[in-house]
Amino acid sequence: MARAVQTKCIGILTAGGDCPGLNAAIRAITKAARQDNGMKVIGVLDGFRGLVENRTIQLEDEMVSGILTRGGTILGTSRDRPHKMPMGGRTLDMIDVAVGNARRLQIDRLICLGGGGTQKNAYRLHREGGMDVITLPKTIDNDVAETDISFGHDTAVGIAAEAIDRLHTTATSHHRIIVCETMGNKAGWLALRAGIAGGADVILIPEIPYDLDSVASALLERQRTGKRFSIIAVAEGARPVSSAEEESCPQEIEGQLDDSPDSEPVVSRTLGGGVVQYHEVREPIASRIARELQERTGTDARVTTLGHVQRGGIPSAFDRVLCTLLGTRAVQLVSEGTFNVMVAYRGGRCVPVPLEKVAGPSNLVPLDHPLLESARLVGTCFGD
């Protein structure tokens, strides 16, 4: 993986959903690269689509000054995949075009910031296009494999926990059940950590299929002991036991997006001679849970779906530090000649992990994780 080569120009792109910390990482990479033998830094606009359409800007120190605390990404982002990109009403493999544009721009190495889908797409650019790449793990879901934590997750946990804190007062004032839905895609980290931090009475995550009768029993027991309210934190990917046993999806759904947190399936329709893709809008799972629990318990239930607010705004101090560590380490690896790896955060250190180990697997909550044990010991119900 390591070889003695000189890098004169690096490219940076951000792909998938926006996330707190992207700008902090862009800043770290740009400043470190400029410090290291004055590498030229090219910012690719709007993810892999910008590389295919040859839309870039040259990044200088003054352009990244002051963006450490800004949410979003100054480069823009998209969910386009280079091997399946909608172009002129058709879906085409644009890997050769993307790599060819990078070569013409004299980009020696490409640093991609993104979640699980971005790891796979970056690996495709290397495997099928011969491009040297390095990736950074970004997602509020914390579902990227081979790293202790992805940047953006800490910020999202803080936002969700604060929301649950605020729901307590209205829940107890009105003797209500309040169901708070978080993002997370198919991983329960966000709901689990925010639920524990916010003192949720019930936490429902994808890794533990739930039985609503069990949840209702826990809520009724709270009522019998004089509790005036109940808070339920539910991950968007949580599943009832029946669904977990026999999953199915409509034929027109092509699969999940490469990067959550927008986890609605992609639906394809043929309109006007071209293929149009869009997100299927579905009833939030929290609404279904609240409606059924209200019927089972006879208690008024309300729903709060946090949605995109979880990934907006300024990154937490931890995420700013993490992005700085990951971004500067990525530049060090470039200088050392180590490519085609993800910069993982493990045990407080930033280490390279081969992309083939990252592209594909997801980081899900292990059923023996200490967080689950601790939550159960304080009386949290997981619906099992």
Q: Which helix (H) or strand (E) holds 322?
A: helix 317-336
Give dist(CA 175, CA 145) in Å, integer: 41
Is 230 buried (19+), middle (13-18) or exposed (0-12) by CB count in 10 A?
A: buried
Identify the H or E element spanning 333.
helix 317-336
For residues 323 and 26, give the distance between their C-alpha atoms in angstroms, rounded to a whole number.
8
The CA distance from 167 to 231, in Å, is 8
| Alpha-carbon torsion, ordered 236, 237, 243, 249, to 10 deg | 100
Contacts of 71 (CB under 8 A, 6+ apart): 18, 20, 23, 312, 313, 314, 315
DSSP 75: T
Report the alpha-carbon distance of residue 234 to residue 205 in Å, rounded: 6
Strand 85-87, strand 109-114: pairing: unpaired
User: Which of 132, 141, 154, 201 is the catalytic position?
Assistant: 141
Query: Structure tokens of 318?
Result: 């931890």
C-alpha–C-alpha distance, residues 146 and 150, integer Å: 10
259 as an active site residue: the answer is no
User: 279 near 155, Cβ under 8 Å?
Assistant: no
Residue 52 near residue 101, CB atoms below 8 Å:
yes
Name the residue among 70, 147, 94 with its Cα closest to residue 116: 147
Q: What are the catalytic residues? A: 141
